[in-house]
């Protein structure tokens, strides 16, 4: 113990760690009436897994998690001084507009698709799909934290009530491990950390346990599809030679570390550390990570590398794992910066007109195409700029800004001012889609996500202007009578709608817009990282949590 926090005489000091600016309503909302309780998870659901777990801890917290400790260790109040309300009236008006969009999207989902996974806004009904293995309510789980931070409390309470009475985890269908993890586990974890409602914590851990059989492979690399009832798992039929996808098995780390944190069960962290170790050890062509890996042999199956689909969030989770560990996870840090160096050396390109982009790599041959999905990388490179080599900070900030600029160009070069699914830099194209099949926009968040991070990092007003352009375009082309819909061709203003309000529109697109027009103290980056579905997860301030454990004993004496 090096600080005096454990001493009785510092009790008052410790209380003052919670900044005095904390807004009353905000505090009440955060506490949810439960913040003063110490929650301990009933062993029932996790017992078997815990008992089977091997003894190595891999950084799991040996102390039992308590919400009180967690809150005390945050550096700042999660919702900021005044729920992040900006002082500038124009920005506030814009923020209110985004809140209205969320309410509109939510109200229509509630009216026409309640309990289904997504709203079909043209036909005014619900969509279930086959990604979530019989789980329902994806839009509800994905919206919990967005509703909460926007102060849409009636709607949040309806959502919470649905989770309590109707979220049935005993489904028996075939689910995408990745999608269930990022949307359901991520959404429930964030809802728990923001509200202290034990319901969310229990559901997250219960669901997490159902995902574990997917890791029963010769290498421990999980397969992509799992039957949530039987635990049987297999690879996607379209993935070559029974392989697993980098962006899927590489996008579990943040949630699984938090599952260990909340359950005191090391198994979740062990599973993702095993993936990490294998990826760290395996030989990489030119330092790059191909998108397909065999869960049986542990070898790459083919050499397609992409910062967009199939690869994207693996890189995101490396830097975010490091940040979420309070900058203690050095392996994640090393892997991230080495990967970024390889990406810069092999994939980053400059177009004839001077636009910087990330090409795709097919066994050494470049495909001069950038997917909308790859546009998250502006934000990712931005948030990692501080922690690479000190002399590269400005370089990374410049690269992040250039990529974000290119992605903005893909929006402004369309008739609708929304960006296509993929844009190209060959045959005379500069950030435009050349194939009919790439012209659609499905309410994706990645470009706006990068605006939000770049705004936080630079406060350059252009990012808020670009975000507002997107709001206007969404309103004009995607808003229909009963919700928001994706469009089939961004290059024509006579739009055809795809009749789908994706759950990530509520979880990510609208949340990132709201944060863009909020003060930086709403979910401050000193305390929170966003999972790849924009669900905020707290940075684990381990040393504080351990100090406070000692102090708890003192306080209770």
The reply on whether position 250 binds ligand DMJ by CB under 6 A is: no
Q: For 176-244, give the secondary structure using H, E and C.
A: EHHHHHHHHHHHHHHHHHHHCCHHHHHHHHHHHHHHHHHHCCCCCCCCCEEECCCCCEECCCCCHHHCE
Is residue 312 flagged as an active site residue? yes
Give CA angle at 533 (179, 283), nearest 5°: 70
For the chain, give percent helix, strand, coil, nearest 5: 50, 10, 40
Contact residue for ligand DMJ among 532, 544, 547, 551 (CB under 6 A): 532
Is residue 446 flagged as an active site residue? yes
End-to-end CA distance of the chain: 19
What is the C-alpha separation between 342 and 289, in angstroms, rounded? 9
Residue 172 has φ and ψ, to the nearest 5°, of: -125, 25
The reply on whether position 504 binds ligand DMJ by CB under 6 A is: yes
Kindly tell me which of 220 and 445 has the beta carbon lying closer to ligand DMJ: 445
CB of 132 to ligand DMJ, least distance (A): 12
Is residue 409 flagged as an active site residue? no
Kindly tell me which of 261 and 533 has the beta carbon lying closer to ligand DMJ: 533
Asked whether the beta carbons of 359 and 371 are under 8 A apart, the reply is no
Size of the site for ligand DMJ (CB under 6 A): 8
310 contact partners, CB below 8 Å, separation of at least 6: 245, 246, 247, 291, 292, 304
Helices (H), 291-392: 312-324, 330-346, 377-383
Label residue 442 exposed, middle or buried (CB < 10 Å: 0-12, 13-18, 19+): middle
Is residue 179 flagged as an active site residue? yes
The reply on whether position 108 binds ligand DMJ by CB under 6 A is: no
What is the C-alpha separation between 459 and 378, in angstroms, rounded? 15
CB of 111 to ligand DMJ, least distance (A): 24
Asked whether the beta carbons of 324 and 539 are under 8 A apart, the reply is yes
CB of 526 to ligand DMJ, least distance (A): 23
Give the length of the chain. Answer: 557
The reply on whether position 438 binds ligand DMJ by CB under 6 A is: no
The annotation status of 64 as a binding-site residue, yes or no, is no
Residues from 307 through 346 that contact ligand DMJ (CB under 6 A)? 313
- Please identify which of the residues 83, 174, 179, 209 carries the catalytic annotation: 179
CB of 228 to ligand DMJ, least distance (A): 19
- Please identify which of the residues 421, 438, 533, 548 carries the catalytic annotation: 421
CB of 442 to ligand DMJ, least distance (A): 7
Contact residue for ligand DMJ among 533, 535, 537, 541 (CB under 6 A): 533
Residues from 442 through 481 that contact ligand DMJ (CB under 6 A)? 444-445
Kindly tell me which of 76 and 320 has the beta carbon lying closer to ligand DMJ: 320
The reply on whether position 143 binds ligand DMJ by CB under 6 A is: no
Kindly tell me which of 69 and 477 has the beta carbon lying closer to ligand DMJ: 477
> Under DSSP, is residue 530 helix (H, G, I), strand (E, B) or coil?
strand
What is the C-alpha separation between 443 and 510, in angstroms, rounded? 10
Q: Which residue has the tokens 């924009």?
A: 534
Closest residue to ligand DMJ, judged by C-beta, is 532
- Please identify which of the residues 142, 209, 312, 360 carries the catalytic annotation: 312
Report DSSP state, residue 370.
E
One character per residue 348-377, x = contact with ligand DMJ (rule: CB under 6 A): -------------------------x----
Binding residues for Ca(2+): 532
Binding residues: 532
Interface ranges with ligand DMJ (CB under 6 A)? 313, 373, 444-445, 504, 508, 532-533
- Tell me the catalytic residues: 179, 312, 421, 446
């Amino acid at each position: 113990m090096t600080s005096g926090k454990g001493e009785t005489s510092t009790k008052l000091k410790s209380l003052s760690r919670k900044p005095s600016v904390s807004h009353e309503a905000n505090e009440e909302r955060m506490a949810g009436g439960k913040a003063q309780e110490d929650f301990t998870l009933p062993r029932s659901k996790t017992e078997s897994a815990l008992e089977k777990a091997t003894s190595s801890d891999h950084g799991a917290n040996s102390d039992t998690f308590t919400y009180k400790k967690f809150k005390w260790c945050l550096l700042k109040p999660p919702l900021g001084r005044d729920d992040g309300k900006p002082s500038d009236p124009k920005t506030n008006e814009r923020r209110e507009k985004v809140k209205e969009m969320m309410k509109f999207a939510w109200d229509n989902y509630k009216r026409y698709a309640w309990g289904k996974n997504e709203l079909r806004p043209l036909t005014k009904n619900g969509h279930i799909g086959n990604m979530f293995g019989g789980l329902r309510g994806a839009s509800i789980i994905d919206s919990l934290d967005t509703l909460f931070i926007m102060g849409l409390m009636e709607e949040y309470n309806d959502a919470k009530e649905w989770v309590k009475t109707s979220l049935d985890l005993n489904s028996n269908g075939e689910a995408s491990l990745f999608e269930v993890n990022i949307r359901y586990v991520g959404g429930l974890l964030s809802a728990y950390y923001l509200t202290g409602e034990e319901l969310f914590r229990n559901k997250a851990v219960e669901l997490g346990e159902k995902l574990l059989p997917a890791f029963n492979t010769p290498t421990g690399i999980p397969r992509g599809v799992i039957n949530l009832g039987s635990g049987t798992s297999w690879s996607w039929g379209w993935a070559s030679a029974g392989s697993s996808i980098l962006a899927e098995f590489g996008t579990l780390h943040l949630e699984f570390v938090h599952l260990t944190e909340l359950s005191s069960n090391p198994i979740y962290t062990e599973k993702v550390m095993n993936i990490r170790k294998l990826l760290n050890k395996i030989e990489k062509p030119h330092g790059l990570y191909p998108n397909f890996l065999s869960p049986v042999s542990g070898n790459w199956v083919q050499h397609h590398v992409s910062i967009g689909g199939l690869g994207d969030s693996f890189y995101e989770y490396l830097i975010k794992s490091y940040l979420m560990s309070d900058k203690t996870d050095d392996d994640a840090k090393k892997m991230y910066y080495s990967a970024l160096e390889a990406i810069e050396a092999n994939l980053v390109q400059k177009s004839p007109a001077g636009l910087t982009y990330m090409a795709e790599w097919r066994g050494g041959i470049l495909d001069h195409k950038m997917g909308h999905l790859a546009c998250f990388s502006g934000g990712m490179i931005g948030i990692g700029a501080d922690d690479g080599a000190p002399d590269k900070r400005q370089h990374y900030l410049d690269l992040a800004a250039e990529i974000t600029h290119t992605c903005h160009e893909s929006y402004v070069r369309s008739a609708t001012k929304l960006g296509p699914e993929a844009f190209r830099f060959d045959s005379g194209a500069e950030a435009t889609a050349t194939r009919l099949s790439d012209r659609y926009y499905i309410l994706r968040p990645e470009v706006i996500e990068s605006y939000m991070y770049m705004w936080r990092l630079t406060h350059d007003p252009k990012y808020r202007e670009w975000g507002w352009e997107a709001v206007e375009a969404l309103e004009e082309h995607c808003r229909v009578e009963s919700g928001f819909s994706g469009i089939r061709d961004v290059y024509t203003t006579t739009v055809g709608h795809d009749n789908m309000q994706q759950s990530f529109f509520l979880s990510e697109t609208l949340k990132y817009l709201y944060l863009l027009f909020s003060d930086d103290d709403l979910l401050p980056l000193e305390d929170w990282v966003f999972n790849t579905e924009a669900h905020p997860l707290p940075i684990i301030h381990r040393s504080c949590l351990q100090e406070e454990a000692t102090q708890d004993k003192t306080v209770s004496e």
